[in-house]
Amino acid sequence: MEHPFEFPLELPDRGSRQRMAALHGQLRAAILDGRLKPGLRLPATRELAEALEVSRNTVVAAYDLLLGEGYIEARRGAGNFVADLVMRRSDRRDARANASTIDDRLAPYWRNFASLPAPMHASGFAYDFRLGIPDSRSFPYDIWRRLSARALRNLSKAAPLYDVAAGRLPLRQAIAQHISFARAVSCEAEDVVVTSGAQQAFDLLARVLVTPGRTVVAVEDPGYPPLRAVFLAAGARVLGVPVDEEGLIVEQLPHDTNVIYVTPSHQFPLGVVMSPRRRVELLEFARTRSALVIEDDYDSEFRYSSRPLDALQTLDRDDTVCYVGTFSKCLFPTLRLGYAVVPPWLRTAFVNAKHQADWHGDILAQDTLAAFIAEGHLVRHVRHMRKVYAERRNVLLDALQRYGKGRLQAYASDAGLHLAATLDASVDSSGLLARAATNAINLESLDGYTKDNPVANGLAFGLGMIDVARIDEGIAKLMRLVS
């Protein structure tokens, strides 16, 4: 008879008088470990006895013990079910979690790693200025569903094979065409590697570029913490380089830098744009020192007046730039698709690392996105959302000017999904954030993004989650909290 469980039950030989105890102990352990989930219906005693080739009395006795101990419960006319032992399971998980933080089997970086941030779900704040989340309420989900259904029909007719690690060719072709049009990035489909968001691109770059203890990675400071974390975990020396109104201060880059991470189109989190002069200096630094520049162009689709400056990748003539982009900001966050335009000398290693990491990404999502781009839906959606965010940005700038009264001054910025502003030095940003949260205002301070260099006292305001009608009222309320 087929075994009723997905894990083995090993019982002593007949005549040992230990079969019932062994069965009881193993079922009890499976319940405590979570292999038998709460609410699961256990096999009938006769069925389990036949499968294990034991007497029914042995199974009945084991079940009776579990019932008496509270591990299972009997439901009249329905059978025996695993009880919900929330406290016992959570206690065991907590004990294991506490032990693992000091376990020397872990690599040093991970022994004291901080807990992951909570998911960015709906917060309940009336004035929600969170960073990094686009407004997906206007996304054309009906079109996406139609394209996804078509892609699924096409996949059902194809052989069920694994795909190439670099990503589906139609999507790579669509991405190459799109960024050529939108950002003047010079590339072909063979230069593009599809990733599970920009974060996987950073992880793959760390895998293939870092020699632990030797590789020096320079990052913007303040800058993007998850990028720093990826390279630190790989064993790199990560150094923060200050940012001013022209972007990364190139002359302060360490001479032994191997990798440089920048957000030149809309610096994160200050929002400034890297000047043409600094772009030339940065590319010359990378060329003379054989360093790689990682250009994170995370939300450059949203520009509000002037023509955007050329991407570093467009200006690069020496294969020193890896251009990274994502669709999470212009479409919706749960779409975990990004891409990297990888220089030739790096491409084979990068694709091989991608193959080892996850072989390939979600094929259905890739085919759907390829059609979404090719049929012009991406361009139309971005054009629509640019108007939405531009209105919110203008209202926010006006409110900061009217209510800030010199105590809250916006950084110059003409792009992206957030604005940053300096706060009067006499105001404690941490205390202000706490008071704001109790008044239903959700925003962030700039000091949470620093590494080695002090940053001006300031705040950051996201445009994706706040309705335009609430912006003016939210800033007025915030400034009344400034003491």
Query: In sequence order, what DSSP letters do the residues of 124-190 get, joined into one string?
Result: --SEE--SS----TTS-HHHHHHHHHHHHHHHHTS------TT--HHHHHHHHHHHHHHH-----GG
Q: How many of the other CB atoms lie within 10 Å of CB of 166? A: 24
Pairing between β-strand 321-326 and β-strand 292-296 as defined by DSSP bridges? parallel
**pLDDT mean over 20-25:** 92
CB 236 within 8 Å of CB 216:
yes
User: Any bridge partners for residue 219, and if so which?
Assistant: 240, 261
pLDDT > 70? residue 87: no
Query: Percent of the chain having pLDDT more than 70?
Result: 94
- Looking at residue 100, its pLDDT comes to 47
Q: How far apart are CA 267 and CA 241, in angstroms?
A: 13
- Looking at residue 95, its pLDDT comes to 53
The candidate with the shortest Cα–Cα distance to 458, out of 131, 218, 132, is: 131
User: What confidence tens digit (pLDDT) does each residue in 155-165 have?
Assistant: 999 887 888 99
User: What confidence tens digit (pLDDT) does each residue in 225-271 have?
Assistant: 999 999 999 999 999 999 999 999 999 999 999 999 999 999 999 99
Amino acid at 159: A
Domains of the chain: 19-84 (1.10.10.10), 127-135+380-480 (3.90.1150.10), 160-374 (3.40.640.10)
Contacts with 217 (C-beta within 8 Å, 6 or more apart), sequence order: 210, 231, 236, 237, 238, 239, 257, 258, 259, 260, 261
User: Any bridge partners for residue 104, and if so which?
Assistant: none
Average pLDDT of the chain to the nearest whole number:
90
Q: Which of 63-67, 101-105, 260-264, 413-417 has the lowest mean pLDDT?
A: 101-105
User: What confidence tens digit (pLDDT) does each residue in 140-183 have?
Assistant: 999 999 999 999 999 999 887 888 999 999 999 999 999 998 88
Of all helices (H) and strands (E), which one includes residue 112? none
Query: Residue for token digits 């007949």?
Result: 14
Q: How far is CA 161 from CA 62, 155, 164, 361, 470, in A?
A: 46, 10, 10, 13, 50
Confidence band for 452, pLDDT divided at 50, 70 and 90 = confident
Query: Residue for token digits 């965010």?
Result: 389
343 or 456, which is more confident: 343
**pLDDT mean over 199-224:** 97
The candidate with the shortest Cα–Cα distance to 369, out of 342, 338, 340, 341, is: 338
Amino acid at 36: L
Q: Helix or strand or coil: residue 298?
A: coil
Of all helices (H) and strands (E), which one includes residue 83? none
Q: Which pTM was predicted?
A: 0.80
